[in-house]
Amino acid sequence: MTGAAAVFDWEALRVVAREAMSRAYAPYSGYPVGVAARVADGRTVTGCNVENASYGLSLCAECGLVSDLQRSGGGRLTHFTCVDGEGTLLVPCGRCRQLLHEFGGPDLLLDTPEGVLPLSEMLPQAFGPAHLTK
């Protein structure tokens, strides 16, 4: 691994994600999830899943993270990690990959069980704002 991914402290970001996971509200599935991301300006933002009895209205942890990003001043995500209730790495679902694309772009680095990968490898040929102007 070279560049920013090689020198970035992924373990410190995982610790923050695990703390966020400890605040998840998952009484129905019993599957808490926490996420943390680094913003280009150096801030760290977090999120956790929040379930609802209807399931369909439940919020993935990434939704909370993007809300925290906007609440704290916006910006571009540069590094992202996601953990389950055991602290084990997860990859975001497809919906959340699309959400992360909007706020981090194809170069957002994702901490995955297979190593650090750019979002462009996890969401190839992503739909984005540029498609809306065509």
Which uninterrupted H or E stretch holds 6? Answer: helix 4-7
Does 62 qualify as catalytic in the annotation?
A: yes
Of the candidates 11, 51, 62, 114, the residue annotated as catalytic is 62
- Kindly give, in sequence order, each residue whose CB lies less than 8 Å from that of residue 19, ignoring residues fewer than 6 positions away: 34, 46
Which uninterrupted H or E stretch holds 16? Answer: helix 10-21
Strands of 109-112's sheet, edge to edge? 44-48, 34-39, 77-83, 109-112, 115-118
Active site residues: 62
